[in-house]
Chains A and B, each alone.
Chain A
Amino acid sequence: MILKSKLFGTTYQFKDIVDVFAKANEEKSGDRLAGITAGSAEERVAARMVVANLTLEDIRNNPVVPYEEDEVTRIIQDSVNKRIFGQIKNWTVQELREWILDENTTGEDIIRISRGLTAEMISAVTKLMSNLDLIYGARKIRISAHCNTTIGLEGTLSARLQPNHPTDDPDGIVASVMEGLTYGIGDAVIGLNPVDDSAESVGRILRKFEEIKNKWEIPTQICVLAHVTDQMEAIRRGAPTDLIFQSIAGSEKGNTAFGISGGLIEEARQLALSDGTATGPNVMYFETGQGSELSSNAHHGVDQLTMEARCYGFAKKYQPFLVNTVVGFIGPEYLYDSKQVIRAGLEDHFMGKLTGIPMGVDACYTNHMKADQNDIENLSVLLSAAGCNFFMGIPHGDDVMLNYQTTGYHETPTLRELLNLKPIKPFEEWMMKMGFIDEKGKMTSKAGDASVFLK
């Protein structure tokens, strides 16, 4: 394993894989905050030179957090298919990159090889990808999953309906749900971030969602994004849910900070399968985001891109229906501006797909970042071209509960029209039945009128 490279006559020596991985990243304020970035632009390229020439075996043998210390490492390492890994272990990272981009390599090929990859290999190849590489590579890979409907099929673009409310007022939440549905939002899931995490409140909102779903015969999924333990308690008390949600991290320590472990997630999944309302088999919903490990001091000195890749390796074990990175939520100390958010969004989406999970993106920003609505509109076009499974949908892009901005009800229909994408088929048929779109998929005068549900 060579950890030394030369550029313009200057020699750069890197300490180990963790060191060279951090220095090879595109610039991110979070890596800077962690004190692990390259000292210069040239050193960044020198680090990439080293990464390009590492073999997949070098990387497998040097997980960034030791196997003995960390559950996430164990889950990822234990899930590697030995036969497939054996076929590719002598590939260098640059060979992996060029194989993914090769015109003769299909999505099916990539999904197969993916079973021989660890999160660190996925992070490594991502460091060598330009933005357009990330789009092109991700576009080949389709990962679908089934809960009540099937997400992620070729030619589809879905949206989570996020009807958040500052006090969880059920009527206020329902108002946002109704309007979102008329825009064709909600085929991924109708999912609320609650203010009140208690099982009682979670159950109350789930029952409300269930009532709407049944009354209007909407082919979709419902979920309330409280802490996993609160959702489990709500289910045990009889609340109906299709999906169980949880935020996850790329290290055991990070997951401990979230109050979870692999065992707990599996217990939740079993509960959703036995007592939930979904057809399945995919009944989990996970959210991630670069920088969350550093924010809980659980990053082990590792760069945020690699920790993010490890989230996906962890997620894969629990066969999720939805995974999305919340890419601009964490703040400028981790992703400084629109350039870093757009880069991270493309990286996360590509890494999720290469891991083999059904990936969506919350393309968003907070008000203390140097980003605005134009930037996330740009990102949403790039991600749609990359074959992203779903975005968020919020009234006018303004989340009145979490106080950040994301994609609005108007973005998904625009992107669908621009790029010739459709909602999930049964949901599209439901929209036609309700008269929100005509038989050609064009919006009607009912699209945008929530009061049609007041019948």
Chain B
Amino acid sequence: MVNDQDLKSLVATIVKQMMNEDTVANVNPAAETAAAQQSASSEEQDACLPDITELDLKKELLVPNPYDREGYLKMKERTPARIGVWRAGPRYKTMTSLRFRADHAAAQDAVFSYVSEDLVKKLNLVPIETLCKDKDEYLTRPDLGRQFSDETVNFMKVRVRSPKVQIVVGDGLSSAAIEANAADIIPALKQGLKMYGIEVGDILFVKHCRVPSMDVIGEATDADVVCLLVGERPGLVTAESMSAYIAYKPTVDMPEARRTVVSNIHKGGTPAVEAGAHISELIKSMLDKKTSGIDLKL
């Protein structure tokens, strides 16, 4: 738990220790730093400020003399909203504003980074990509993020032929979501389907993926059900949220209402393993009833 008071005393302690051990007076700041580095004990060299992103915001109350501290903490338990953050004049406290920027940084990195090739290899995914040439085009041209080149469509036709279920992983708006959840959800999903006697073949990985790309994949592979696991647009609470879009025999330009969606898959929402089991049930039900989306009455 870090607040300004703690931080100030931490800084004060470090400075004090440096002063005690470094007896050279009136040196210039650069020399002082070098000297401090040389003379600092290994304990100080290892010293590190606490990770503010590990703080549970719901338990942190920064209002200095609240009318009712207990009551305030109870209020905070009921919402993830950033309340009880107090102020510096009318502005934010330094630490809450750094935490906000840290959470925003994570969200931006999740959007603008790529799923690592190592993960794609490790999970044995078959990589393909949409028509977008880079992230910028992906973000500004949703129409291109749902289309593939003729070569890619032909590749899918040859590689994957009429599977019962085609699982697809797509980066979407959060690569971090895929990095965080794919390795857990895929085995759970496969295991769940296996229990219903459904085997899963090659799993595709789509770079620069928009949700309707699954419709093209459905047509190209002639799969009965396509299940797309895709990164959601990140919020500040988590950048690791993934969704599953599942449809029975999806076709290009079909109504959105034909998709069944399982959203909020992340460790603070529905954990990946649990989601995998749930999705395998949904898929089984779609295969039985030959439908999906709002027509799928469970």
Contacts and interface: CB of A to CB of B under 8 A. Distances in A.
A343 to B, nearest CB: 16
Taking chain B's interface residues, is the majority helix, strand, or loop, or is none over half, making it mixed? loop
Contacts of B81: 163-165, 172, 175-176, 394-396, 398, 400
Interface in A7-33: 29, 32-33
A95 B236 CA distance: 47
Contact of A175 (B76, B143, B239): B76
A148 to B, nearest CB: 26
A395 B143 CA distance: 35
A410 B91 contact: yes
Interface stretch (B41-49, B82-90, B283-291): B82-90
Interface stretch (B25-33, B64-72, B118-126, B150-158): B64-72
Residue of A175, A373, A395 with highest tally of chain B CB at under 10 A: A175
A397 B97 CA distance: 10
Given A367-B104, A373-B104, A448-B87, A176 B139 contact: no
A452 B65 CA distance: 11
A398 B69 contact: no
Contact of A451 (B63, B80, B108, B143): B63
A165 B79 contact: yes
A332 B139 contact: yes
A332 B140 contact: yes
B271 interface: no
Contact of B90 (A397, A443, A455): A443
Nearest to A415: B90
Interface in A309-343: 331-333, 336
B229 interface: no
A333 B84 CA distance: 36
B201 interface: no
B68 A454 contact: yes
B92 A450 contact: no
B79 A398 contact: no
A445 B65 contact: yes
B10 interface: no
Chain B's interface size range is 35 or more
Given A165-B79, A367-B111, A368-B173, A333 B68 contact: no
Given A179-B84, A373-B104, A403-B234, A454 B91 contact: no
Contacts of A387: none
A408 interface: yes
A292 to B, nearest CB: 14
Contact of B79 (A175, A333, A445, A449): A175
B78 A172 contact: yes
A400 B100 CA distance: 12
Contacts of B143: 33
B71 to A, nearest CB: 4
A262 B233 CA distance: 33
A109 interface: no
Nearest to A374: B101
Interface string A377-414: 00000000000000000111110100111001010011
Contacts of A33: 140-143
A366 interface: yes
Nearest to B86: A448
A396 B84 CA distance: 10
Given A367-B111, A410-B87, A396 B68 contact: no
A272 to B, nearest CB: 29
Given A451-B71, A451-B75, A179 B233 contact: no
A169 interface: yes
A451 B68 CA distance: 5
A33 B143 CA distance: 9
A171 B75 CA distance: 7
Interface string A28-71: 01001100000000000000000000000000000000000000
Contact of A410 (B66, B67, B90, B141): B90
Given A414-B90, A414-B91, A451-B66, A366 B233 contact: yes
B71 A400 contact: no
Contacts of A397: 100
Nearest to B62: A448
Given A169-B78, A175-B78, A332-B139, A403 B100 contact: no
Contacts of B104: 367, 372-373, 405
B100 A396 contact: yes
A398 B236 contact: yes
Contacts of B209: none
Interface string B253-273: 000000000000000000000
A454 B84 CA distance: 14
A408 B107 CA distance: 19
B175 to A, nearest CB: 12
A373 B101 contact: yes
B86 A454 contact: no
A450 B83 contact: yes
Interface string B128-163: 000000000001111100000000000000000000
Given A171-B75, A172-B81, A400 B237 contact: yes
Interface of B: 63-69, 71-72, 75-76, 78-87, 89-92, 96, 100-101, 103-104, 107-108, 110-111, 139-143, 173, 233-237, 239
Given A175-B78, A398-B82, A451-B71, 20 more contacts: A33-B141, A33-B143, A171-B75, A175-B79, A331-B139, A368-B139, A368-B173, A396-B85, A396-B100, A397-B100, A400-B79, A405-B236, A408-B92, A410-B90, A414-B89, A445-B65, A449-B65, A450-B84, A451-B72, A455-B67
23 contacts: A163-B81, A171-B75, A171-B79, A172-B78, A173-B79, A175-B81, A176-B81, A176-B83, A179-B83, A333-B139, A368-B139, A373-B100, A373-B104, A396-B96, A403-B237, A414-B89, A414-B90, A443-B87, A448-B85, A450-B84, A451-B68, A451-B71, A454-B67
